[in-house]
Structure 1
């Protein structure tokens, strides 16, 4: 930086943390209780090795735990970082070990993180080399964006279809047809919004987009998933085609605005349980340097690893809790994000010693804060330390990834014994888990697959994981997949086997959409995307993880099936003059239910049962529904029950997963008709749904 530049320094304030543009300069403020002296480093560019240094002493620039300084003579886009040069000394004369001296550190509240061309994850000891190769932040005018008339869609949960997706993986494959400059970016996602609209998606759940380090991986691997945040206020730079200082923020907002314009909400998968700094042997670029004992759960000087990633954020420490809340508010209010899915949310209920808190945790604060009152909140209700809180997350607003839905539906449909009762509970919104929330059955986020595990195609193609490409000798990834290959491991040219696998994929999609709760599907499941049996592709930044847009006939059939199923079950209206506004989800939520087996009113609840039928109806709705699920490996013949109170009425077939394209799903009352008492053959491993209008 030009030393002749007219820089004026004043004390500033700590009312807002981070770098804030004000009328009389830029105010810098941060939490660092144990530092005695700090340097504010101002860089000309991201590769600068000779920053302008503003030296701060605690007698002038520190108020209790907070440091603050106001600088005139610099402007928006100024690149900066910090360095602690001295620590406070305790009564024993020993300097604090909670700070790290002489390391360049980025601002925890930085809205933009910059990587120099010679970036090194572990800082060199040489000062100039460290300046040149370290991470840096940038001052950003966060209000310099025109939202126009952007509005939040605010879909009700019983009308929501969540699509979990990876920003890069969605369009990076060359088959996307996008220019290389925008493939795999926020801009690229905008180009493919029509695809999401056609499918019927109402909310995208984006895998982590907070700035992370793609080098945070094993040698010769890439951190593809991004579950290792570096900064909680900065969007991932590599997902932006615009590499200017403000580019990632504005391109992200362009994406949000475009999705909103098409009625699609944006839910972020957020990681507030750990950071990219890893364990005691990991790098120091921010939180460890400013206050290791404050930001992290530490025991006897060592990191506690409840995340499985080396460290655990001390989420219930007041300043850390406030940082999390301010981060969420920033993304909701400034970036217009509609909701959040919290990775390993249970860690946010652990105290400074790692013990679970019964009340007053950060999870409850997130639930209660008024500025997030209209945001969707979804928890992954467990952590890697064994804390399992399904049905027990603090706060009434929370929805939860229902891992029991995934496991029990997989197990029943595979043909495992003693699963029919559990299967029925999952279809009904898991009342055994959410018994305290019967008035709100949408607590459950129902999913069969997600980023973590087999894809839907691989779930019905592989009995075992095949993760050798990850370089861990196939030891990574879960072994509890509840999957099946139905006779042959992996892809096959056997036409009958491929037909069965496609039917099973349709079965899982059908059950997800028809069950009480909010359905979530994983990117590519609608077109049978495969990872070749890899159930832990966290490091596969390549075609294995990308969505391939070139579809064969089976994939096209699955897409059409999924699209029509969404229309039928949740979004569109069944096309009949008597039921112009019918939604099956609303019917099931308020329904009276009859249970049936192969004969009406004779369900088989035994351990050896592999099928169940149920008829549900709600007097205020215009449609009756009869569903029969045959998870047995043989065909079954069932006697169709009568429409309650209407002995003469006919049933119309709307879903039959054993049928081919054009017949497996329809949305008109012009399909095959059946009368009460008639016998219907239900093909092995298939799902059938019949509907009847009440008028």
Structure 2
């Protein structure tokens, strides 16, 4: 063995910088021979050096390891792995392919990368993805740490890193549009809005070519590295720019008091099905990393061609190691798990009552205090909202989304359901002793209509996706308010504006952890497209002219956010169970008459009165989802009066006023216009 090479160590996995060089370690049970190829540039066709690992001295159990002296942070490398090509046995080794390190912390993306070439047999090193050595110790965090905001003080804002600043009217410097650094320039906007956390659509390195011909994978739900930030969101072209600029972004958000949550995809990879490319896992140990049916065909519980074998011990450890890396080395505050129910399945796809990977994540001490948000369903019909495993996990409440949408489009039977959602969905959560904020309340997310399109279209319009409008959900529960798409009719526009405000009131005032979607605060439109995963253009981007077009909505939402955060700060972010909270508040349901709620199937009106015992606050929330105005009798108050804080039927600035400026109500009745929400309060208002 050369003097600058020794046997190395099995731990830690990946490329780990040590004194004088780098230790490499890789798991592959079925490999017969392993080589590491080193490159000086992203698009080199010939390696500058090849190190072959000797099974006698560089293999321990199923771990291949070696220490190479003289290697530094920024070095590009990849694996060439030999073994049997026996697809009928699930083995797909291909020594012509350069493979990414599963634990690689950065990815070099050559100018001529080709997914098509990666799908074919043959060595095309100049177009192959390459891993990059990263030394975390070289970055100065300047004392930064994850913020650990309490769940009660959290308002999530889901956004796309590129889409938020890519539009030419973003006023972001052209070199930084669509990048991590571009986001930094828009932090003042987010601070003014009042949100406390950003939830970034996938930033793990993904394959943008995993898309229909002529399109790109814009959303990023096509991961190929669980440790590396996506290269295309960097502004500079240096090998480590993506890692450094990502950390700069996190540090800037933290300095502004905003947490960073990552949307993580541990359910599938960009390698797809049997016809997909060999980029990493498939060529390292296919039956370890993927669920296989009959030992050879890829199980597809994701709708994306393959399913990660998440409860295999090796894959399980990789997932936990990835999360710990992003928390400890990249200072991330939380994670939203895409199609999280897949993590409840064993290697055969069978639902497990106590999935090891989920308990590993929840119980790991390095992840204690980290926000864990589950999309509690998968693409194969498993739906676990209200029953997701664990004590700490929060759940995207898909029933909240559906039931709130149904109420404001006048669907039969919606009154009972929205009433339950407003008070924390106790029919779903209370019996489990869940805490209030474990329900993540949202009406829209990246997947589906924007809030503007929810009130502007009855049907999806995904024609530009190139799939003949077959893609995207048909169950949108939307209502166009009388005209499909844009209109100049002032009455319809007024109704749509009112509906947008209605949705925001319920999302931000209901018990639970609220989540808003990028641009909903200014009525961002996707022109009726409810599946812009492949639309990396103005359809999927934030149009900053909307901020001026709909500044009334922005003002409305920012005042809602401000009051929610103020109230939770007053209570010091104390977390309580839903059962405890419901007992601390005196609740009373009313209809147009006090104490006479109409729970019938044809009812479209409800009022909720609450008295919060600890601080003496009383409120009266009135929802009129009917197409005609309704006059509601107000319950009497002892020694106080009702004051109007919100009425979505009123024009700005009367639709919502600063909390301390709530307007006195002089009557014992209140007229609520059709399709409107009013919120009256009594506490701390000058007489």
- TM-score, with structure 1 as normaliser: 0.94
Q: Against the structure 1 CA distance between its residues 88 and 192, is the aligned structure 2 distance closer, same or farther, given a 3 Å change threshold?
A: closer
Give the C-alpha shift of residue 623 in structure 1: 1.3
Give the C-alpha shift of residue 37 in structure 1: 0.9
1:559 is matched with 554
- Between the two proteins, the alignment pairs up a number of residues equal to 677
Larger mean Cα displacement after TM superposition, 152-161 or 8-17: 152-161
Q: Against the structure 1 CA distance between its residues 293 and 567, is the aligned structure 2 distance closer, same or farther, given a 3 Å change threshold?
A: same
Does the aligned pair in 2 maintain the 1:82–1:106 contact within 8 Å? Answer: yes
Larger mean Cα displacement after TM superposition, 68-77 or 96-105: 96-105
Provide, for residues 32-90 of structure 1, a one-character-per-residue CA deviation record: whole Å limited to 9, x for no partner: 1111111111112122222121122322211111100111132221111111134499x
Task: Please show how residues 78-477 of structure 1 align to structure 2 within 5 Å.
Answer: 78-87=75-84, 97-123=91-117, 130-300=124-294, 301-438=296-433, 440-477=435-472
Q: 1:60 aligns with which of 49, 57, 70?
A: 57
Provide, for residues 587-646 of structure 1, a one-character-per-residue CA deviation record: whole Å limited to 9, x for no partner: 975311011110111110011110100110122113111010000010001111112xx0
2:532 is matched with 537
1:23 is matched with 19
1:125, 1:411 → 2: CA distance? 45
Does the aligned pair in 2 maintain the 1:420–1:610 contact within 8 Å? Answer: yes
Q: 2:645 aligns with which of 639, 654, 657?
A: 654
Give the C-alpha shift of residue 439 in structure 1: 5.2
SS in 2 for 1:625: strand
1:207, 1:21 → 2: CA distance? 30
Give the C-alpha shift of residue 553 in structure 1: 5.7
Q: 1:596 aligns with which of 590, 599, 604?
A: 590
Q: Against the structure 1 CA distance between its residues 425 and 293, is the aligned structure 2 distance closer, same or farther, given a 3 Å change threshold?
A: same
SS in 1 for 2:308: coil
2:332, 2:290 → 1: CA distance? 27
Q: Against the structure 1 CA distance between its residues 480 and 96, is the aligned structure 2 distance closer, same or farther, given a 3 Å change threshold?
A: closer
Please say if 1:685 is aligned against 2:675. Answer: yes
Does the aligned pair in 1 maintain the 2:118–2:277 contact within 8 Å? Answer: no
SS in 1 for 2:620: strand
Give the C-alpha shift of residue 166 in structure 1: 0.2
Q: Against the structure 1 CA distance between its residues 27 and 670, is the aligned structure 2 distance closer, same or farther, given a 3 Å change threshold?
A: closer
- TM-score, with structure 2 as normaliser: 0.95
Does the aligned pair in 2 maintain the 1:37–1:87 contact within 8 Å? Answer: no
2:125, 2:547 → 1: CA distance? 52
- Between the two structures, name the one with larger relative contact order (CA 8 Å, sep ≥ 6): 2
1:211, 1:359 → 2: CA distance? 30
Provide, for residues 429-467 of structure 1, a one-character-per-residue CA deviation record: whole Å limited to 9, x for no partner: 111111334451211000000000000000000011011
Does the aligned pair in 2 maintain the 1:431–1:438 contact within 8 Å? Answer: no
Please say if 1:42 is aligned against 2:38. Answer: yes
SS in 2 for 1:190: helix
Task: Please show how residues 444-593 of structure 1 align to structure 2 within 5 Å.
Answer: 444-551=439-546, 554-568=549-563, 570-572=564-566, 590-593=584-587
SS in 2 for 1:58: coil
Please say if 1:672 is aligned against 2:645. Answer: no
2:633 is matched with 639
Provide, for residues 158-200 of structure 1, a one-character-per-residue CA deviation record: whole Å limited to 9, x for no partner: 2111000000001110111112100110000000000000000
1:73, 1:445 → 2: CA distance? 49
Provide, for residues 396-429 of structure 1, a one-character-per-residue CA deviation record: whole Å limited to 9, x for no partner: 1100000000000100111001111111111111
Unmatched 5+ residue regions in structure 2? none
Unmatched 5+ residue regions in structure 1? 1-5
Q: Against the structure 1 CA distance between its residues 659 and 36, is the aligned structure 2 distance closer, same or farther, given a 3 Å change threshold?
A: same
1:24, 1:512 → 2: CA distance? 54
1:268, 1:593 → 2: CA distance? 36
Does the aligned pair in 1 maintain the 2:151–2:575 contact within 8 Å? Answer: no
1:554, 1:120 → 2: CA distance? 41
